Amino acid sequence: MSEFQKLISERCQALLQQYPQWLVRVQEALEKSPVRLDFVPSSVEIFDQSGLLLGVLLGEMVYSGARKPGVRSEFLAWFFDGELVVFTIETEVILNRILPNY
């Protein structure tokens, strides 16, 4: 178990074990530089365990995934310009690379 995995709840560890590709992506993103709050990405994509939920390009929504009623996202992964920036599991923030402007 990595140091990162020791820092998150057992529930989140168990979920990430079900999606090892997302565990790798989160661990890789933790090594990257923060993103400034005033950064304006050209594209924003939001994924969950089912795939792409929403895609926004240059401020225009270009994709919105169809969902069956009652299906809940197990996690949400936010990408800015193709880079993982935020990853949440329910109310637990696992990754947040957005750096507030002070």
The pLDDT-based confidence of 89 (bands split at 50, 70, 90) is: very high
Q: Both tokens of residue 31?
A: 């090594």
Q: Which residues pair with 93 in a beta bridge?
A: 88
- State residue 2's pLDDT score: 62
Largest Cα span, the chain: 42
- 48-59 pLDDT, tens digit each: 998 999 899 988
The pLDDT score that the predictor gives to residue 34 is 94
